[in-house]
Structure 1
Amino acid sequence: MDVQGLRKWKKAEKVKSRREKEKRKIREAFSNTSTVEVIPAKTEEMKEKMRRTRVAAYCRVSTYEDAQAGSFELQVQYFKETIEKNPNYELVKIYADEGVSGTSMKKRVKFQEMIQDCRLGKIDLILTKSVSRFARNTRDCLEIIRELKALNPPVGVYFEAENLNTIESKNEFTLGVMSLVAQGESEQKSASIIWSVIERFKRGIPIISTHNLLGYDKDRYGKMVIDEEEAEVIRYIYGCYKDGQSVREIAENLTEQHIPTVNGGTVWSSSTIRNILKNEKYCGDVLMQKTFTVDCFSHKVVKNKGQKPQYRLRDHHPPIIPREEWNNIQKLLLKPRHKSKIKGKRLVKKIIVTKIKSGKLKGFVVINPKWNDKEIDQFFKFMNKNI
């Protein structure tokens, strides 16, 4: 045997000897039982000292419909009763989001409040109906669950329908599968809604809100009708642009005259004027799918620049601007326009009011705070004539 081989043999023998010694130690430990004192972990001591578990519940429904309103209240009352009846539970709070989607956590105010309370150490356990009530986005769901488990002390989430407690590490795989199912349901539901909307568009059934549409309102049957007070502003804008004024000059003129915007504001912007001039609704048409939502999780809305088909419905409602004039304005908008020397016209009617078109205050008007005493008197005279 050469020197190199001898060294390898000696090394192997040493390793073999160490392994035999280790085995012998283990055999002796099991044959000679020793008394070992177990010092419990601090977290376990804290759990033993804690007499009652601080429990919260999370409830959510995605719409304000009557059927879901009943489901929402049922969730709230059920969890409240469940926690109060358990002698080991201490009710912290029932966190409830009504009328919000589960695909995104940004708009779920109560959910965010609950997670913050967990971070502050106010909650030990969260009860919720199912994975889909908690979150429909797999990534968000798992990230939140892992964050709660990593807190000191950790916070568990119990999903009643799935009989799943996230404190148990073996349940993470199951939770991942269940959240994927919930996400798939959201994607399928979103696809169904998009399909139904597109089918409406194809058959000439537009979805139009007049809440932020200057010049139009809806009658009791839901049909678009011209609001003459606001239509006067629209005709003024088109007339000024046809006469050579720029969008910036028109915006400045309206602001100086204290003409309220569609939302009752006092300052007009160039972009608002340009959007009004480009809006096909003022010639009686409706262009559908001007924008679209990228996905059901980010809820990001982007402008449709040809990525999706669009649907145009002509002569849908009474026009404020004749079609020929509207078409000419579209041609003028393609050419750059600099500041003109044309003196800005004034609206014939000085007092123009903005009516609230939807919500609990529908029918009320917005008074411009910059009106002087004379203008306010004119306003009340005008209102008295129209009562």
Structure 2
Amino acid sequence: MIEKRDEKPKLYKNYPYLVYARVSTDKDEQKDSLTNQVDICRYWLEQNNYEWNDKSILEDKAKSGTMFLERTAMQLILKKARNREIKMVVFKSIHRLARDLKDALEIKEVLLGHGVRVVTIEEGYDSEFEGKNDMKFEMFSMFAAQYPKTQSVSISAALAAKVRKGHHIGKIPYGYDRVDQKLVIKEDEAAVIRKIFDWYNNKGYGQKTITNKLNEGVENASILPPKSGGVWQLTTVQRVLKNRTFCGDFILNQYTNIKVDGRKKQIKNPESKWTIIKNHHPAIVSREEFEKANNKEVVNNRRKVTPWNEFRGLLKCGHCGSNMVIMQSWKKKKDGSKTHWNYLKCSKYRRSNKCVNHPPITYDSFRELLLQKLKEETEKASFNLEFNLTMNDQVRIRKLEKELDGIKQKIDRLLDIYLEGMLNKYDYERKKEELVKKGQQLEDELFILNNADKRDLNIETIKEALEQLNDTDQDLYNVFNKLLKCGTIYEDGSIDLKFKFGKI
């Protein structure tokens, strides 16, 4: 009788796998450290007869599991999966993969859809053996997604308890210092806050005038600059006047973080969700002063309704590049009535007085100038529009065709070099694949440019916009946006206009 020998398990050499590790912060506990995660994954791989490779490790350091797009290592894994460069990804746990149910399922679908095996060691999940039953993965992903939400509630409750004891959390506001976790007034900065409220409430100055006076004081060193340095801006003054911190109040739950397209975004909660703790810290201005500055009657009397701007986002300052915005002015007649007009100014000059003061160009005169120039060229543009667009496309098409011919010649030369024995098979196939991929991209662009329907649609859209210029009484924002590429207004009052359908 022949005795059977025990065969050694097959060792998987050069198997294309990746090990993924992630920590949310530098303060993660030892059990979730990067080294610990890698060691656990390495032990699993060696126990399952895979040859260990130090270059297989990809790490996301200080990256939240809820922020999908900010995790560069994870994005690289998905890219490699789509390019069929890997066959397996190993995670310590689903918590390390993602803490958002939608992201976890999306990552798994991308990996499995491109033939990549997914292994999470703590949960004992292995896509190779689970088949179509993914209940285990979905269940553990749901638990992982719930954890940060539960943790957030606990942290918020702990912070709220600290605030109720008089402690301060968050960024230290202008006018204060923080001592023993409590706010104390910083007199030199607080003097600026009191001056802003005094000018607004008692002197009757508007917010723009206050901004200019503050910057004049910064220049002669009689007033401190804002905390960020630089100059005071109109929006900063507006925020100071509305900030309840300066009358001693602290607001909890004023803002919240939401997730939009894989990234965090902060939004302001409705006031009904705020928790206002009055007399939380020393006040810089009295409650009466704050309420007077925010009294609806006072605010409404001073508020200027910004007129509708048909050129928003289209006109730029030639000196600093900021948007040109509408300013309002008026003149009182002898009979007591007022004449109002609007004119264009640099938004940086409006906010801080720190750009050039353009000569007054009234909104109506600029609109009339633009309409006149457009109308003068309407007939010519209508005849030449198709020719201009087609010529631009033809130039690009010829360039792409030339590049494609060059790529085909390179592939032929590459084959000759390989057949002559000057290039090994691996390098030949790799270089050929790169050239073929680039050629495919060029062919895709050529297909789009050769699509006549798309070009005709652009022509008809611009023609339609030109035809609407005859109705000058309507809002022409969409028309100007379709025809005007950009406009630049310079310090001397000269105007440079660039249109989307050729020179005018």
TM-score class, shorter: 0.5 to 0.7
In 2, distance between residues paired with 1:267 and 1:87?
Answer: 61
Task: Give yes or no for contact 1:55–1:89 (8 Å, CA) kept in 2.
Answer: no
1:319 is matched with which residue? 283
Q: Is structure 2 residue 108 aligned with structure 1 residue 148?
A: no
Q: Which runs of 5+ in 1 are unaligned?
A: 1-49, 342-369, 371-387
In the TM superposition, 1:35-54 aligns within 5 A as 51-54=13-16
1:108 is matched with which residue? 71
Task: Give yes or no for contact 1:83–1:91 (8 Å, CA) kept in 2.
Answer: no
Task: Give yes or no for contact 1:145–1:157 (8 Å, CA) kept in 2.
Answer: yes
**Structure 1 residues 311, 134: closer, same or farther in 2, change over 3 A?**
same
Q: Is structure 2 residue 235 aligned with structure 1 residue 274?
A: no
In the TM superposition, 1:1-387 aligns within 5 A as 51-65=13-27, 67-68=29-30, 71-79=33-41, 88-151=51-114, 154-168=115-129, 169-170=131-132, 172-198=134-160, 200=162, 203-205=164-166, 207-211=168-172, 213-219=173-179, 221-242=180-201, 243-255=203-215, 257=218, 260-264=225-229, 266-293=230-257, 300-314=265-279, 316-331=280-295, 332-337=298-303
**Structure 1 residues 108, 157: closer, same or farther in 2, change over 3 A?**
same
| Count of matched residue pairs | 286
**Structure 1 residues 107, 228: closer, same or farther in 2, change over 3 A?**
farther
Q: What letter corresponds to residue 235 of structure 1 in structure 2? A: R
C-alpha root-mean-square deviation of aligned residues, in Å? 3.6
User: Which structure's CA Rg is the greater one?
Assistant: 1
- SS state at 2:19 partner: strand
- SS state at 1:92 partner: helix
**Structure 1 residues 340, 223: closer, same or farther in 2, change over 3 A?**
farther
**Structure 1 residues 54, 249: closer, same or farther in 2, change over 3 A?**
farther
Q: Which runs of 5+ in 2 are unaligned?
A: 1-11, 305-327, 331-353, 355-504
**Structure 1 residues 150, 216: closer, same or farther in 2, change over 3 A?**
same
- SS state at 2:294 partner: helix
In 2, distance between residues paired with 1:138 and 1:310?
Answer: 30
Task: Give yes or no for contact 1:245–1:340 (8 Å, CA) kept in 2.
Answer: no
For residue 197 of structure 1, report the CA deviation from its aligned partner: 4.2
In 2, distance between residues paired with 1:238 and 1:81?
Answer: 66
Q: What letter corresponds to residue 311 of structure 1 in structure 2? A: I
Deviations 1:273-332 (A, max 9, x none): 111111122122223222234589975543232342423231x32322233322322224
Task: Give yes or no for contact 1:251–1:268 (8 Å, CA) kept in 2.
Answer: yes
For residue 253 of structure 1, report the CA deviation from its aligned partner: 4.2
For residue 96 of structure 1, report the CA deviation from its aligned partner: 2.4
For residue 160 of structure 1, report the CA deviation from its aligned partner: 0.7
In 2, distance between residues paired with 1:121 and 1:240?
Answer: 67
Please state which structure has a larger fraction of its residues in helix. 2
**Structure 1 residues 158, 318: closer, same or farther in 2, change over 3 A?**
same
**Structure 1 residues 304, 156: closer, same or farther in 2, change over 3 A?**
same
Q: What letter corresponds to residue 142 of structure 1 in structure 2? A: L
Task: Give yes or no for contact 1:126–1:158 (8 Å, CA) kept in 2.
Answer: yes
- SS state at 2:102 partner: helix
For residue 161 of structure 1, report the CA deviation from its aligned partner: 0.9
Task: Give yes or no for contact 1:61–1:99 (8 Å, CA) kept in 2.
Answer: yes
For residue 217 of structure 1, report the CA deviation from its aligned partner: 1.9
Task: Give yes or no for contact 2:175–2:186 (8 Å, CA) kept in 1.
Answer: yes
Task: Give yes or no for contact 1:55–1:125 (8 Å, CA) kept in 2.
Answer: yes
Task: Give yes or no for contact 1:204–1:313 (8 Å, CA) kept in 2.
Answer: no
Task: Give yes or no for contact 1:127–1:157 (8 Å, CA) kept in 2.
Answer: yes
**Structure 1 residues 91, 150: closer, same or farther in 2, change over 3 A?**
farther
Identity %: 30
Task: Give yes or no for contact 1:286–1:313 (8 Å, CA) kept in 2.
Answer: yes
Q: What letter corresponds to residue 273 of structure 2 in structure 1? A: K
Higher RCO (CA 8 Å, separation ≥ 6 residues): 1
In 2, distance between residues paired with 1:254 and 1:121?
Answer: 61
Task: Give yes or no for contact 2:23–2:60 (8 Å, CA) kept in 1.
Answer: yes
Q: What letter corresponds to residue 143 of structure 2 in structure 1? A: V
- SS state at 2:70 partner: coil
Task: Give yes or no for contact 1:54–1:91 (8 Å, CA) kept in 2.
Answer: no
In 1, distance between residues paired with 2:35 and 2:54?
Answer: 17
For residue 65 of structure 1, report the CA deviation from its aligned partner: 2.4
Q: What letter corresponds to residue 244 of structure 1 in structure 2? A: G
Deviations 1:1-59 (A, max 9, x none): xxxxxxxxxxxxxxxxxxxxxxxxxxxxxxxxxxxxxxxxxxxxxxxxx9521222222
Task: Give yes or no for contact 1:291–1:304 (8 Å, CA) kept in 2.
Answer: yes
**Structure 1 residues 329, 56: closer, same or farther in 2, change over 3 A?**
same
In 2, distance between residues paired with 1:69 and 1:173?
Answer: 26
In 2, distance between residues paired with 1:302 and 1:162?
Answer: 36
Task: Give yes or no for contact 1:80–1:94 (8 Å, CA) kept in 2.
Answer: no
Task: Tell me whether 275-284 or 56-65 shows the greater mean CA deviation.
Answer: 56-65
Relative to the length of structure 1, the TM-score reads 0.62
